[in-house]
């Protein structure tokens, strides 16, 4: 018997009047395990966080040779013996492509949205047992790590698949391509931001420009920085690094978060980190450093690498991590 997908609609007070004018009413899918409707059992919850430019409904996409996420969960439960779980697929998409699941005066308070609104909302709508984890890849990976590190009493486990870390190897390598793209916009970032919906083609150069723009909005917001309310950590013409702003970014880098949040991380029931050795964004370097930091501070975790790129095997790796997260939350 398969599980069930239900769509819920949530009216957010936190996201009202957000600076990007993104919707405060979000509709997103929730997976309920087989037998949910016919029992009174309570279940652990996993928040499945999507990568950059993703939203929860993407999990339901069925493509050639790729299962949708409800099919994967059914397989894990019915064929692999995983215990039942409620799997929440929130929508944190923004005009700039993503929120990084943090609070930002330039984007909106998406950390509060999840922690202060969606967690109690899900508890009020479904039979949850109070145990929660976060699982995600790329931006969803860093989001999973960060939420668990900041709120260990709310999220007791995380799986971070190819999550952003080692920021100097991820983002600074993209600065030359960003600067080249800025020539089209007279080296004024506001010209790019204003034109995002109409720009074609939305190729690799566009995605690089969008990504660094979104990261700046999330990691270095500044209400006094006109007209956008955030600052780049480098000059859009010369690429010269502004160390003061760059240090703001590094506070969000998991490699730099382990030490200040070590006591929180030590409380967690389960921690999982992995990455592809061919990752296009060099995230295997940050992932290795993150694992080393976790070891340094005595934080038990699973670390794995696989011979693939940023996204090719991430779905298969989640099939490995999710049963372990569920087992930890059910113990």
pLDDT class of 331 with cuts at 50, 70, 90: confident
What does the pLDDT read at residue 22? Answer: 98
> Would the pLDDT of 66 be above 80?
no
Q: What is the mean pLDDT of residues 137-150?
A: 97
What does the pLDDT read at residue 215? Answer: 98
Q: Tell me: do 40 and 94 sit in the same domain.
A: yes
Q: Tell me: do 59 and 148 sit in the same domain.
A: yes
Q: What is the mean pLDDT of residues 258-272?
A: 98
Q: Tell me: do 153 and 284 sit in the same domain.
A: yes
Q: Tell me: do 71 and 134 sit in the same domain.
A: yes
> What does 194-249 look like in DSSP terms, one character per residue?
HHGGG-S---HHHHHHHHHHHHHHHHSB-TTSTTTSB--SB-TTT--B-HHHHHHH
Cβ atoms within 10 Å, residue 209: 25
What does the pLDDT read at residue 62? Answer: 77
Q: What is the mean pLDDT of residues 294-304?
A: 98
> Would the pLDDT of 271 be above 80?
yes
User: What is the number of residues in the chain?
Assistant: 331
What does the pLDDT read at residue 151? Answer: 98
Count structural domains, the chain.
2
> Would the pLDDT of 159 be above 90?
yes
Q: Tell me: do 57 and 198 sit in the same domain.
A: no
Q: Tell me: do 128 and 266 sit in the same domain.
A: yes
Nearest of 128, 28, 12 to residue 88 by alpha carbon? 28
Q: What is the mean pLDDT of residues 104-108?
A: 98
DSSP state of 26: E
pLDDT class of 206 with cuts at 50, 70, 90: very high
Q: Tell me: do 181 and 246 sit in the same domain.
A: yes
Residues paired with 88 in a beta bridge? 30, 47
Percent of the chain with pLDDT over 70: 99
Q: Tell me: do 288 and 159 sit in the same domain.
A: yes
Q: What is the mean pLDDT of residues 149-162?
A: 97
What does the pLDDT read at residue 3? Answer: 96
Separation between Cα atoms, residue 87 and residue 36, nearest integer Å: 12
Q: Tell me: do 104 and 13 sit in the same domain.
A: yes
Domain limit, last residue, from 250, 282, 312: 250
Is the model more confident about 221 or about 59?
Answer: 221
Separation between Cα atoms, residue 304 and residue 289, nearest integer Å: 13
> Would the pLDDT of 213 be above 90?
yes
Q: Tell me: do 34 and 86 sit in the same domain.
A: yes
Question: How far does Cα 188 stand from its chain's mean position?
Answer: 28
Q: What is the mean pLDDT of residues 177-190?
A: 97
236: containing domain: 169-250
Q: Tell me: do 140 and 59 sit in the same domain.
A: yes
What does the pLDDT read at residue 313? Answer: 63
**What CATH number did the domain enclosing 307 receive?**
3.40.50.1820
Domain limit, last residue, from 217, 235, 250: 250
> Would the pLDDT of 262 be above 90?
yes
pLDDT class of 312 with cuts at 50, 70, 90: low
Separation between Cα atoms, residue 286 and residue 234, nearest integer Å: 21
Separation between Cα atoms, residue 106 and residue 93, nearest integer Å: 14
Domain limit, last residue, from 194, 216, 250: 250
- Note the pLDDT tens digit of each residue in 30-56: 999 999 999 999 999 999 999 999 999
Q: Tell me: do 141 and 158 sit in the same domain.
A: yes
Q: What is the mean pLDDT of residues 140-167?
A: 98
SS3 content of the chain, % helix, strand, coil (to 5): 40, 20, 40
> Would the pLDDT of 64 be above 80?
no
> Would the pLDDT of 178 be above 70?
yes
> Would the pLDDT of 309 be above 90?
no
> Would the pLDDT of 314 be above 90?
no
């Amino acid at each position: 018997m398969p599980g069930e997908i239900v769509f819920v609609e949530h009216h957010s007070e936190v996201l009202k009047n957000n600076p990007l004018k993104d919707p405060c009413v979000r509709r997103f899918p929730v997976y309920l395990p087989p037998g949910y409707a016919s029992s009174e059992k309570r279940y652990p919850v996993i928040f499945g966080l999507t990568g950059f430019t993703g939203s929860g409904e993407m999990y339901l996409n069925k493509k050639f040779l790729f299962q949708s996420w409800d099919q994967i969960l059914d397989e894990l439960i019915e064929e692999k013996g995983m215990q039942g779980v409620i799997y929440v697929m929130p929508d944190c998409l923004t005009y700039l492509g993503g929120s990084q699941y943090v609070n930002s005066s330039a984007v909106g308070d998406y950390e509060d949205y999840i922690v202060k609104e969606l967690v109690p909302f899900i508890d009020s709508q479904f039979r949850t047992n109070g145990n929660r984890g976060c699982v995600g890849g790329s931006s969803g990976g860093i989001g999973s790590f960060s939420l668990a590190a900041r709120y260990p009493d709310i999220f007791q486990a995380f799986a971070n698949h190819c999550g952003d870390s080692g920021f100097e190897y991820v983002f600074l390598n993209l600065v030359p391509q960003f600067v080249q793209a800025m020539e089209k916009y007279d080296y004024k970032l506001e010209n790019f931001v204003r034109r995002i919906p109409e720009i074609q083609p939305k190729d690799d150069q566009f995605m690089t420009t969008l990504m660094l723009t979104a990261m700046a909005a999330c990691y270095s917001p500044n209400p006094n920085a006109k007209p956008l309310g955030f600052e780049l950590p480098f000059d859009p013409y010369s690429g010269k690094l502004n160390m003061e702003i760059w240090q703001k970014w590094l506070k969000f880098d998991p490699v730099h978060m382990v030490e200040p949040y070590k006591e929180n991380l030590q409380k967690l029931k389960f921690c999982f980190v992995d990455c592809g050795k061919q990752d296009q964004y060099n995230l295997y370097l940050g992932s290795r450093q993150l694992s080393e930091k976790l070891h340094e501070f005595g934080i038990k975790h699973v670390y794995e690498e696989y011979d693939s790129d940023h996204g090719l095997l991430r779905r298969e790796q989640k099939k490995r991590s999710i049963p372990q997260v569920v087992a930890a939350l059910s113990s």
